[in-house]
Structure formats: C-alpha cells, structure tokens
A and B are shown apart, each in its own frame.
Chain A
C-alpha cells in the first residue's frame, strides 16, 4: 500500500509537475498571509508585520525549492530539467555545440574503431568451442612453421594434448560446373577437426581414418560461405564429386557458418586430408623433417597446465634431436597463441595495435582537454548567471550537476555519432579484401559490445571535461560577482585552461610527430632499392600442379610459354621463376662452405633465400648482373650444378664480391659453382637486413609453381589480355591466380607500412585540427575579453608590439612550451614506431624540421585572426560601445 502511494506521488510529481507546483505556491503564500495576519493580531503595524513574517518564512522561493528537493523523484525531475536546460543552452550556441560534438565524435570513434580491431585480432579467441584450450606449437625461435613428421611424433608420444594437427594453406584449382577457379583452403591432418571441435553444418567433417596413410581417401569439406557462394547452398551437396587440381574429390560435409579456419585474418573455403599431398603439390612433404612449412594446432586436455605441456614438449624435442640429428638438431618447441599465422604476426600486431590504441587515447585526451578549456571559458562567461542562480536558492552542487549534464549531453551525442562512424568503418574493413592473392579477410564486424564501449568512453570523457570548471563554481561568491560584473581578465593568474591548452598542444604534437615519422618512412620505403624493378613489369602466377602437370610436362609447358610470350609484340624481356622476391612464399635453405663435411644445421655457414629461375628472368625482373653469366637452358640435371648469388651471399662466404667460379655446398652435400653475382635486394619483407640469396637454374630442378615476369612498355590492359590468351591457348585448365602489374601484386609488402601511415596520418591530422581549434578558441576568447582594456592602451599610445605581447604573449609561451614538450614526447614515442614503419626514425632532421614548421605554421595561423582583431580595433568606437 505505501509503495503504491509512493509510485502515485512519483507519477504525479513527474507528470503533473505544473499543478503540483502551483499547489505548493498557493500553500506557501497562504502560510505567509497567515503569518502576517497573526502578527497584525499581535498588534504590529502592517509593514512591520509583513517584514517579520517574511523573516520567519525565510524566502518563498527557498522554501519551495526545499520542498521540491524532498519530493519523491526530485532527483529525476531536476535531472530532466537540467537536461532540457542543457539542450536549450546548446541550441542557443549551435556553433559551439556542433564543434564540441564533432571533436568528441572523432575522438571517440578513433578509440572505438581501434578497440574493435583490437578485439577482433587480439582479444577475441578463435571462434571454436572451448577456444582457451586450443593453442599452436612453434619452434622456440624463428618462424611459426613445423614439419609433418615432427607433429606426428608429438601427436603419438604426448600425454597432454587431446588432439594434435598440422595444416598447410593451399590454393586449389577447384573445378565445379565446368569452370576451374583458384580457391584457398588447407590440407589438414587427421585430427584437425578434433582440435577445432566444431559440429558439421551438413554431412561430416574429416576424420582420422581419412588421413591415416597416403592416399587414404579423396574427400573434402567445404566452408559454409563457399557452400553459399560456389554451390548455391545446394542441400544435396554431400556426396557430390568435384575436381580439385584435376583429381576427383567427394564433398562429405559443410562446416558451420562463421567457421573460416584457424587463422583470424584468413578465409579458408576447402579442407582436404594431407594424405593426398603427393598428388596435390607435385612433391611430397609428408615424410620430410626439413620441410618446415606447416602450421600446427593442438587441443590441451582439461586440467593440463602450460608448465606441464612445456615440460613434455622439451622431452619430446630432446628425443627427436637425438634421434634425427641432421634435421632436428637443437629442436625446441613452445606453446603459442593461435590465429595470427601461428603466432608469427601476433607480436607485431599486438604491438602495433597497442601503439595505435595509445595514440587514440592521446587524441581523445587532447579532445577532452580542448573541450575542457572551452567549457571553462564558457563557465567564466556565465559567472553572472551562476551567481544569480545561487542567489535564488540553487546549491553549488545543483549548478555543477547542470554543467555536468550539459557535458554529458555533448559527450553522449558525440558517442552516438562515433558509434555510427565506427560502425561504418568496421563494416567497410570487414568487407575489404587487402591487395593480395592470399585469402586475407578481417573479421572485425562491429559487435554490440562496441556500443557499450563507446558509451563508457563518452561518459568518461564527459566527466573528464565536465568537471574542469569545478573550481570556478565553488569559488563563486554571488554577492561579489553580481556587484562587480565579470571580473576583469587583465593580470589574471594562470588558470586551468592555460595548462589545458599547453597539455593539449603537447599531446597533439605527439600525434603529429608520429604521423611525420611514418610518412617519412613510407617515402623512403617507396623509393627503396628492392634489387629488382617492379615498374613496367607484369607478373603472372599459377601452379601447374593444379592442372595435373608434373616434372618434364611442367618444364615443357613453361618453355613453350616463354617462347610464345617473347613473340608478343612489345615484350622487352620475359623470364620465369618458381617464385619472386617479396611474394610471401620464398624459401630459405642452409648454405655450407665447400670444405664442409658435416651437414647438420648448426654447422651451416648461414641461411639464404632460394629462387629457381629461367634464362632471361633477371633481365625481365630488372636485376642487373654484376659479374659472370645468366643461367641457361644448357644447365640441366646432367650438367654440374650452378647458381647466381647476391653480393651479401658472396661476402658472407668469401668476404669479397669476387666469387664467380668459386663453390659452396647445399645441405645434401652437393657442390655448386657460382657463375654470376647480382646486387642485394629485399626478399621476404621490406624491413629485413641485407640477406643472402641464391638463384638456381630452374632447368636443373623443375618447379610447377610458376611466376612469369614480362617487361614491357606497352599498355597494361592489352598486355594482360595477350598473356592470358597465350596461357589459355596452351592449356585452358591452368588456373591463373594472379595476372597484373608487378607493382600491384607487391602491394602486400607495402601494406603494413601503408596501413600504419594512413592510421598515424589520420591521427596526426586530427591532432593538428584539435590544436588549431584549441589555440584559436582560447586566443579569440582572451582577445574578446580584453578588447576594452587593450583599446584603452591603444588610446593611451601603446605600440602594436606592446599590444600584441600584452594580448597574446601568454598564448605564445603556452604554444612554445607545449610544442617543445610534445616534440620530445613524440620523439620518445616514435622509437616504438620504427618497429612497424621501416626506416622510420624520429631523429631524422627532416622529420624534426617538418614537425616544428607545421606547429609554427598552425600556431600562427590560429592566432592570426585574433591578432588582426586586436590590431584593427578602433579604440574610439569600442570605448563608446561599452
């Protein structure tokens, strides 16, 4: 019953507030009347009676306010009032409101977007049941790769994993409905789907018995998205036969929606057992311990700890090293988080995202500092209003709350905008295919949790800049303020907003420095000597094994292709190789000196990149021959093995470039004569140190993987069509996976640095924008407050220089000190950048000069307006006006 009464009161207070208020007003007035009447009855003269009554009552408005405060829902009611008032205030100064909301929206959006990516790539585990038990195994140092026999040994001799599997990415030539297209998938070992632990959407997944001996089965599982897009969501798909690399495979199942393999940034569409490796790849790595090109995934048994796992891995690795010293010497395995190409990209990605998150935080802080100083300035302008409200019975807390509500309205509006922006950006990112032939895809679709994130950030931001004017409110003395009007600003002490401006400029300076450092790095990377020239060259890639070519047939095909393409008019040079530098699938092998007799890895001189090339490839690639000769088709399996090496190779082995005619040995102990020297280049990633590389005649070791390089001055589109025509004329079944300008296909190499530059550039621009807005805002505020004083000075004969230093001297000190601190911070932070951005150095005088110049320019730009206003002020008019 009492609850009911209370609810009724609440509803009445909220919805009939006008009537309730009128009632209260009448009641208090009636009370006053009765007090007066009482006093008159006691014999006071009427005026005295009224005065005494008023004193006893203590102010009609105050009493009413006290009653209102004690009502049920008073808090809610006044909050609503504050809210309405805040909206009114913002409508009254739409310019301020729009700027504030926009600044916040950008700041919050930056954070939400980066957080969304961070969540997708780092925080969220793989989308499989009990993902916390799924890990990857990788060598303690070096890349993420393991070999098939190693994983088989771990699988068969451990007690800590419930399942162990390895897999290799493959692009398959999938023939369905008479068309062959390249489709990315994986060869997976028998326990792969036990590790993953998902339930099939249709049919069954791959089992151990599909993979227990070479050629065990010819079955395939396709992904849900491939089922949708390539097979028209055919409900009778299970049991259908398709051809993969010309071999018939039976589709036995479809994975559930959302499963895209065990990599976070790749979409795999087809899964086949490793048992058919021999027929798929053209060569067989199932039994090779030295072919470390597989990723592993394992599922830990329940209750097993990481320490137990590591102990057992150490035992197994030690045993393997003893058993197979030639291949496994020094083997050491460790557990790592799965999903980022094993954990290969995990470190850099986590580092980069943490750095960007930091920058996003800085930008948001700067935005808050900016809004904080705007708010503080506005509050100073509203001193009189605040004083009047206090005089009318409002408490300081109530006024503060009203200001806070105002900042919340702004920050929530900003947060809502930010949500929209982030949503668009993340959706765009999720549907974007990076410029690569790899099946890269960012699974960063916006999650509802991001709304919560945006809301939390907005509230935090709102509080941060909302409480800035706190001190101003609490020291307001209504009596003084109303009497003296707005205090003169001349000679005021350093206020919070000054500090805020300096801090904000320092923060913005950090983002600007970061942007310039990465821009400079990008510029350097773009003009870097790659050791080959991707300009005016076309690259065609395909794998003949996908059209069932092996050995001599592949060799024959390639030579025919070379001849036909060289006859196309406009072709300046043409050649082919098994793979090209920076393509991502370059191989490394151990190099031994000619005197070696012990071919264990630890005895190798160094590791070098391997390429198998045809005659003419070097010319087509734009790699000049420094000494010696090119490879030739007369180098065959029957003639002595030869190689062309780069200068780094020669220097490491012989400490001189003069290496033509000398010998080295490979891991099989075969002596190879060096017949040519080429300059150094980049082979795996742009940021690598000079690496050794060797180029072998492809005629001595046939490869089905083909990268045809054509150098031409002719129009790209014509040439692309001509080359495609030649390939298809030779064999229609060859699935071309890439054909286009080499530059475009190199895009992946430049991708990280471009992403970094774009991200940091955006932050830099935003930072700059903020600092301009902040400086301009405070400068014009200062000037407008002091215009009267300044014009008196002008009238009394002050010079322009004196006026400027009086008006904006402090601003300049703030600008200079903020910039200096920011520049130092930026330089310190930029060291972190050089990890991602190749050749980025903050000590670069060019960068320092550019940052300083930019700050100087924007600084002067933003105070230029106010300066003009001061200098052109006409004292006579001004003094008359006020």
Chain B
C-alpha cells in the first residue's frame, strides 16, 4: 500500500464574495497522499469543507490553489476515468429500474451488451439486489437505494472510490451493515477508498487511516492509524482499542466542532459551503 494513487498538494479553496460578505476561505491548504488500495476516512466539523475536498479530488470542483494528481495525471475540473463517486443524497435515477440504474454508466460508455449483462449481474449478486433488479427506486428503502448507487459506481470498476457520507441518511444498524458491505467490496475490488463521514465510529471502524479536519478553513489536524486487519468488519466496535481510537479522534474534533458551532451561530454566511 505504498504506491501513491492520488495526491493533493497545497490545495485550498476560496469562495468569492457573495451578498456583501467577504471571500470565504473554505479549505486548505491541504496535503494528502492516498496509497493504492488504502481505505481513508475524513472526519471534521460541519461546514469544514469535507464535501468541497471530495469534489476537488473528484474533479467536480476546481481548487483556488494547489494541484491534484490521480495516478500521476493532474485532475482539474473534470472527473478522470477510474474515479467513482457515491453521493450522500439519493442519486438513483427514479425513472429507471434498478438494473437500468446500474447499467447506466456502462451503456453511456458503449460497452458491449453481453459484457453489460455479465458485469451488472455480478454486481447485483454481490450487492444482494437480485430480487429487486426490475424494481424502481421508489419501491426500495433508503438503504437499498444507496446500495443501488454504490452498485452503479462499482460496475464501472473504478480504481478510486470517493464516498460522501453515503450512509448519512440511514439508521445506525443499517449503517453498520452497510459498512460491512463496503469493507467486503473494498477487499474484493482492491480499490482505493476515500470516505467522508461525520460519524467518528464509522470512520474508525472502516478506515485504515482517519484524517481529522479542523473547523473552516478545513485543514488536517491529525491522522489516526487504526491498524485493523484487512479482514475486519463491524465487530471491531467491540474491540477494546475501538474506544481509545474514537476517543482520540473526538478529542481532536471536539474543540473544532465547538468553534464551528459557535461560528455557525454568529458569522457563517448562508452561502458558505454545500
């Protein structure tokens, strides 16, 4: 896991003034190296720029300064081939069945029909969606819809998967189970995973490394290595080290969260971060 897969160098983001407010320095400067096959989670207080960071890494947003490399090539304002993104919001296409949702990207790429069938069937089986292939998203629960979105990303076999609080809208039990599935797919695909989450326990349970962000402008203030084995699952929450690790992350995060909450009440403009 030592080969650098993606790299952020001195990345920062400033949103221009709006509505009479001053410029909003949202993020950075940030340096980050993602090793190939690594699972990294990023936690930080609300509004610290986590999603902005993910969008910059994905090529969905352009940094105000700094550079991003993915597999040695620069990323700037366009999503490179090999990167898959799962969003926090429900991004299933409601007019398509589960099958058509999952094959959406492959059909866009003009993949051969037999190959589409093979890959979609594989992913559907892996994600346990066999019974719902002909269902529409509206007929599924929130957890199942997010599973469809993950499947749609997986079927394209991305080498770097970016997840923006993918389980944010789910209840705790479903989140733990979805976390297990995420670990299973990480082991199967060998992809590098970059997870944004606000849940400290989720970050500690899933990641090899948890990066802790400060309040805005978001910078990394600590990195916590978990040292779980690759065959880990949600049962690590019962491990005695789990409490110590989450405690360490929270200790770092607490002051930053307080700053963020205080500032949110008094000064944060409504346009700051999405």
Note whether A and B form a binding pair. no
Give me the interface of B with A, judged by CB distance under 8 Å. Answer: none
